[in-house]
Chain A
Amino acid sequence: MCTYATVSEQVDGSAKGPGGQWFHVTDATVYYDHPVHAMADHTLNIDLADPSRGPGARLAVELTRDSATRLVRAIEVALASAPEGV
């Protein structure tokens, strides 16, 4: 299946990307489609990028559906553990 499905969101933070360098990220793209590297037919893929710095300014992950679901829960738990404003 080639889903084409893509969800985009603005983000503000940093990622460690090409060459081991940190860079500011502004855009997140999330899609469930074919991975480039992971050994699965489909994965939940996340790109954290700064398009103003060119296509190479990107941190990419490809996660199986189960592990992506667990990651979402882990993020929610981590966020819930700290009160707003901290």
Chain B
Amino acid sequence: MSVAPRTAGHSIRKVSDSLSATTVSLTGADGAAVEAYLARPDGQHTRGGVVVIHHLPGYDRATKEMVRRFAELGYDAICPNLYSREAPGADPADAAAMVRAQGGIPDERLVGDVGAAAAYLRGLSTSNGKVGVVGHCSGGRQAVLAACHLDLDAAVDCYGAFVTGEPPAGFPLKVTNLVDQLPSLRAPLLGLFGVEDKTPSPDHVAELGRRLDELGKPHDLHSYDEAGHAFFAVDRPSYRVAAANDGWERISAFFGANLSADNSQES
């Protein structure tokens, strides 16, 4: 089931590519202060918002560059530092190592932090009320998770492992698949994957598509040949320019179709 024509991305109102970025503080569902990186287009016109979920390696420079890119595309964009509680102010790699050693981020807390970020975006004077979520790697799974529990208007899963498929027995990190939560998916889903990836594998992606078909959930899953995991990561050997460029176009079109004020929500 397709969710949007790719050309729809051009419908977003874009005044200029001037933007500003800063650090803000959110309040998580548990009351904790959560650092977040916010990037906003210049101007007071109304627009949609995007919550960016960082990957397992943390709240790093590459993720913040993506946040700024969403602002350049015309959205108010924010990325909460999911490791704020364990490692406030730490180097992203050190924070990620500490959180990994402690078993990862509980799903319930992730949902709370994404919910706080979405509420922050909707509270901006420029908000049109529409908020999407996007995540890479572990953040891809978490984007789907968030869209199963929060009022979001679009979700993008970039090669998130264990949306479907079973984590190995004795798995040290507290991660489960989301199969039992997919019936609650509230937003159209765009999924971008690499054929050479093993988690998620092509079989995992096929299972996700099959389950969403059965549930009648709007989705568009696309897998790139000659790409594996993390093909969007411009600073890593896994970067695949053709897949990444096409992926950005698909994300732009998808958010353009689902986060504009004048579109009607499908779900």
Q: Which residues on A are within 8 Å of B, measured CB to CB?
A: 1-8, 27, 29, 31, 33-34, 36, 39-41, 47, 49, 51, 54-56, 58, 60
Contact B86 A4 (CB under 8 A): no
A41's partner among B95, B104, B167, B237 (CB-CB below 8 A) is: B237
Contact B175 A36 (CB under 8 A): no
| Complex: chain A residue closest to B174, CB-CB | A4
CB distance from A44 to the nearest CB of B (A): 14
CB distance from B57 to the nearest CB of A (A): 6
Report which residue of A4, A7, A51 has the largest number of chain B beta carbons within 10 angstroms of its beta carbon: A4
Cβ < 8 Å to A, chain B residues 152-194: 159, 161-162, 167-168, 171-173, 175
| Complex: chain A residue closest to B92, CB-CB | A36
A4 to B104, CA, bound (A): 9
CB distance from A21 to the nearest CB of B (A): 15
A40 to B229, CA, bound (A): 12
Main secondary structure of the interface of B (DSSP, over half): loop
Report which residue of A2, A31, A40, A60 has the largest number of chain B beta carbons within 10 angstroms of its beta carbon: A2
Assuming the A-B contacts A4-B56, A55-B86, are A41 and B97 also in contact, with contact meaning beta carbons closer than 8 angstroms in the complex?
no
Q: Mark B96-137, 1 if CB is under 8 A from A, else 0.
A: 111011001000000000000000000000000000000001
Assuming the A-B contacts A2-B137, A2-B199, are A55 and B172 also in contact, with contact meaning beta carbons closer than 8 angstroms in the complex?
no
| Extra 7 A-B pairs, beta carbons < 8 Å, given A6-B101, A55-B98 | A2-B56, A2-B137, A34-B56, A34-B236, A41-B230, A47-B101, A54-B90
Residues of A contacting B100 in the complex (Cβ-Cβ under 8 angstroms): 6, 29, 31
A56 to B93, CA, bound (A): 9
Assuming the A-B contacts A1-B228, A8-B172, A47-B101, are A60 and B93 also in contact, with contact meaning beta carbons closer than 8 angstroms in the complex?
yes
| Complex: chain A residue closest to B102, CB-CB | A51
Q: Does B210 contact A (CB under 8 A)?
A: no
Residues of A contacting B90 in the complex (Cβ-Cβ under 8 angstroms): 54-56
Contact B199 A3 (CB under 8 A): yes
A83 to B183, CA, bound (A): 61
Assuming the A-B contacts A41-B237, A55-B91, A56-B91, are A4 and B98 also in contact, with contact meaning beta carbons closer than 8 angstroms in the complex?
no
Contact A4 B161 (CB under 8 A): yes
A50 to B50, CA, bound (A): 37
Residues of B contacting A1 in the complex (Cβ-Cβ under 8 angstroms): 161, 197-199, 228-229
| Complex: chain B residue closest to A8, CB-CB | B101
CB distance from A63 to the nearest CB of B (A): 15
Q: Does B87 contact A (CB under 8 A)?
A: yes
Contact A39 B172 (CB under 8 A): no
A49 to B172, CA, bound (A): 18
Report which residue of B94, B171, B230 has the largest number of chain A beta carbons within 10 angstroms of its beta carbon: B94
